[in-house]
Structure formats: C-alpha cells, structure tokens
Amino acid sequence: MKNTLLFLVLAATATAQNLPPAVSITDVSVDEVAQQLTFTYQLTDFENDPCEVWLKFSTDGGEFFALAAPTDLTADAGTNILPGAKTLVWDYSAHADGIFGTRIRIVASDGHSAGIASMVSQVSEAGLLASLETVNGIRHYNAAPQRLEEVRSHIETQFAAAGLQSERHAFTYANTGMGNIIGRLAGLKDEAVTYIIDAHFDGVSNGPAADDNGSGVAGVLEALRILSQYDFEHSIRFIGFDAEELGLIGSQRYVQNGIKPYEDLQGVLNFEMIGFYSDEPNSQMLPAGFDQLFPQAAQQVADNEYRGDFLTVVGNTASNPLTTAFVDASTQYVPDLSLVVAEVPGTGTIAPDLRRSDHARFWDAGKKALMLTDASEFRNYNYHTPGDSIGTLNFTFMANVVKATLATAAQLAVPISAGHDDFDLSILSVDDDGHSHGFPAEVRIYPNPTGGLLSLETGSVHAFRTRAEVYDLSGRQLLRKVMEFGNGSSVAVLDVSDLANGSYMLVLDSGEGSVSRSFVVEH
C-alpha cells in the first residue's frame, strides 16, 4: 500500500512538473535509388501529449544541426504525433552528396515549456558573490598575466562543466597571446538563430576590477548556471571577451572571424559594470551632451534627484527590437529594477561615451546589441582605481540586472520541453542488401532477433579473416572482434549477450571489402 501511494504521489508530481518526451531511434534503412531514409523510432511522453516531431541533420560531426525542410518529411513527422512506435521518412535528395557522413537528430516537443519566472527565481546573490570572488583581482595582460590566464581558464572550465560546446578563440595583440572564451548552448529547433550574453573579463592594471568588469563576468556565469539547465528552440552563446580594456580588441576579433558561418546572430546582451548602486540624491552624473541627445532619459534621472539606482540600457536605432524585448521582460519579471533607456542613432559615434564597451563592435557590424551598465564613472567613483572592490557593490541590484537579462534571453530563445535521439549514418556506408562490395563471401546471420549468440554463416572458395564490429544506432562502437572463416560453408559465433535489448548494426571488414547487417537483441 505504501509503495502504491508513493507511486501515485510521484506520478502526480511528475505530471504537475511535466516531463519532456523521449525519442529512441530503433531502426534505420536507406533506399539509395529513391534517395530516402526511413527511421523507426519510439516516442514516449509521460502525459501522453501529442507532440511535434522534426528532423535535423549535421554534416560537421554534430556541432551544428540544420533543420530538415518539413516538406521533405513524411509519415510520423510534424504536429499532433501521438506517443508510440513511429516511422519517419526523409527525402534526402537535396542533400544526396555525402549523406553517409551525416548525423541525424529526431526531436519531439510536447508543446509545454519551462516557466521563465521559475528561471528568474533561481538567480542567487550568493552565487554572484562566489563567482565574483573567484575572478576578482588584478587581471591584466602586462601587470598580472598569470592571474588573467587563471580567469580565462576558470571561465573555460565553467562553460565545459555546463555542457556547452566551448572553445578558446585565440588571437595575438601587443605581441601577447590572448583569447576570448566562447560557449554555445545549441537550440533544439532553429539553432542558427543565436543570442549572446557576454562580458569582458580583463581589468585595469592598478586594481581588483570588481565592478569593471568582475560584476559582468559573475553575471554571465550566473545566467549560464541557470539557462544551461533548460532547452530552447534557438541557441544562446556565452562569451568572455579578452582585451576590452585595450580598445575592445577581443570583441573586434570575434566579430571579424569568430562568428560561425551557420549563425544568424539576432541579439547581444553585453554586461559592462552591473554592480554599483546608490539611492543617495546627486550620486548620478550624466555624460556631456546626454541631456541634448536623450532629453526624456535625462529628465527621468533629474526627476529622481540624480540617484544612481537604475540600470542604463544603451542600444542603437537598429537594436530597437532588442531594447523593446529587454524592457518588456524586465517590466514583467523584475518590476523592482528601474531602467533608463538611451537609443543612439547609427553606430553611436555621436555619443562616444556610449560606445565604450564590446557592444560597439557589433553595432559596427550591423548587429543588434545592448550595453547594460551601471554607468561606470558617472556613478561609480572607484572606476579604474584600487578602490573598485567587492565591498562597494550591491548584490541585490546585480541580481536584478541578471534576472532581467536572463528573462530576455530565455524569452527570445523560446523555452522548449523536448527530447531527442541521434543516429550516425556513417555506419550505413556499406549496404545491408546482400552485396559484399569486395567482401570475400556472402554472409547470413541468425537467429535474428537473438537472445545472445549470433551465428554468422559464410560460403567462400578460400579461408579468410575479418574484423567484426557492432555499433548501436547512434554510431557508438560496442564490440570488436577478429573472426576466422574456413573455405566452403563456414559458421562462426559472435557473443552479443552483454548488449541491451534493441537494434544494432554489424559491420564486417576483411580488408578487401566490407558488408553490414542489422540485427536485434531480445533477451
């Protein structure tokens, strides 16, 4: 009775939380004449929700999966696919060249999504403090190169630990090796569409640089910690830029040669000092000419007695959709965060003080980008001094900035409740139709399905040896053995009893040729 009650409680809890669907590819066959691939897959959903199913394919080893055109898919693809054993047929004629070097991903979404409010609620002041303590201190290419490298490595480690596709985008400046740290949370649907959350991690040579820009790095890592737990339709990049203090060099190099050819970059959210806050009157100054360029924003600051208690959102005209998305997300999810918005024309050259961070390089390239800032020296009197320390910062304000940014990125990337399974077509690169392609004998396998022992029967005019390899349907090699066959009719036995129930591919390679056979294990 207790076990029954426990099951009912767990089931009710799982239902309330909505478990994502699961996909398992169980068999794949190829018709090279019709240029069609047929996938058999099992679709499971705890709540038995109808799902949307789509297919993606990667030609670069799994870094990027393009979305197959819905018009090329038949059978159990598209919307309103009920759980159960399913079949999906892909007409790959538009991608026929090198199809056997392609990796396939079948994705199913149940139409639910994680609540953004739940993501926002996870932002932690303690987490921000811990991250800032880890990166705090002089980190300058000349004054403290070892400390700068430690921070680079720390960001790199955090990206990898979160499961991102991560890389170091290396470059040389001032005869010194430097590098941006880049991580990618790939979307499960149209992953080409990409949004960036970034901050520069280098600092000045004469101080711990807690606000400039340890606060931004802490914000990136906190957003990463939370967003990496979820799936999205589109991709989110997390970037630590190097050499910002030397003239926005890291972001310049990234824009020049770091954006991937497959990426459709739709927005950059750049943290540039997000920790200094003051509710004292006259604690906020304005850059020269700000009141003339942005009279409404200047009046807002004046009406608040020039208190430094707001986040400045700096965009340009082309970035207006991103600015609107940020303001809307902040209003909905972080109503306590006060915003002052400044939108410059063109690339902002009319207001140089509003170009002093990595967002400007994206403006120059015609990309939408925002600088999110506490206004640097126009509020923080410790700017670029030894006094820029952790103790001067307000972590409630910092957390609110991260919440608004996280909510914006999540809303734009579109949260999704989905599951997927992959299949590597390279294991089908030899036919399963009885043709040997130079293999010295015809091969028959039995029983199929098998409970553990698989017999291989050949007929050959001479004895030969072959390498036998067993792969699962994701292309992972599970077993490898050298087998001997005599002349005439010959039988050898392969023990597959350690394999779990499911479908597998057997590939035999004699050195002269190869042949493959599919088989099923049923214990």
The CATH number for 436's domain is 2.60.40.3080
The share of the chain scoring above pLDDT 90, in percent, equals 80
Residue 50 is part of a domain; what is its CATH number? 2.60.40.10
DSSP code for 99: G
Average pLDDT taken over every residue of the chain:
92
In this structure, is residue 313 part of a structural domain?
A: no
Query: Which of 473, 475, 476, 458 has its CA nearest to residue 515?
Result: 458
Task: State the total domains in the chain.
Answer: 3
In this structure, is residue 325 part of a structural domain?
A: no
239 and 266 share a domain? Answer: yes
> What is the per-residue pLDDT for 509?
83
- By the 8 A CB rule, do 77 and 31 touch? no
259 and 380 share a domain? Answer: yes
> What is the per-residue pLDDT for 233?
98
Least confident of 127-141, 211-225, 268-282, 494-508: 494-508
Residue that wins the pLDDT comparison between 290 and 441: 290
In this structure, is residue 337 part of a structural domain?
A: no
Supply the range of the domain harboring residue 267. 123-273+352-416
Cα gap 166→172, rounded to integer Å: 20
85 and 144 share a domain? Answer: no
139 and 230 share a domain? Answer: yes
363 and 229 share a domain? Answer: yes
89 and 223 share a domain? Answer: no
In this structure, is residue 82 part of a structural domain?
A: yes
Residue 149 is part of a domain; what is its CATH number? 3.40.630.10
65 and 185 share a domain? Answer: no
- Using pLDDT thresholds of 50, 70 and 90, give the confidence band for residue 489: confident
In this structure, is residue 223 part of a structural domain?
A: yes
Least confident of 24-38, 288-302, 374-388, 430-444: 430-444
Indicate the pTM of the whole model. 0.85
495 and 369 share a domain? Answer: no
127 and 146 share a domain? Answer: yes
- Using pLDDT thresholds of 50, 70 and 90, give the confidence band for residue 476: confident
Burial per residue of 368-390, b for 16 or more beta-carbon CB atoms within 10 angstroms, e otherwise: bbbbbbbbbbbbbebbbbeebbb
Residue that wins the pLDDT comparison between 6 and 192: 192
pLDDT of 161 above 90: yes
- Using pLDDT thresholds of 50, 70 and 90, give the confidence band for residue 434: very low
Residue that wins the pLDDT comparison between 110 and 16: 110
406 and 435 share a domain? Answer: no
- By the 8 A CB rule, do 152 and 181 touch? yes
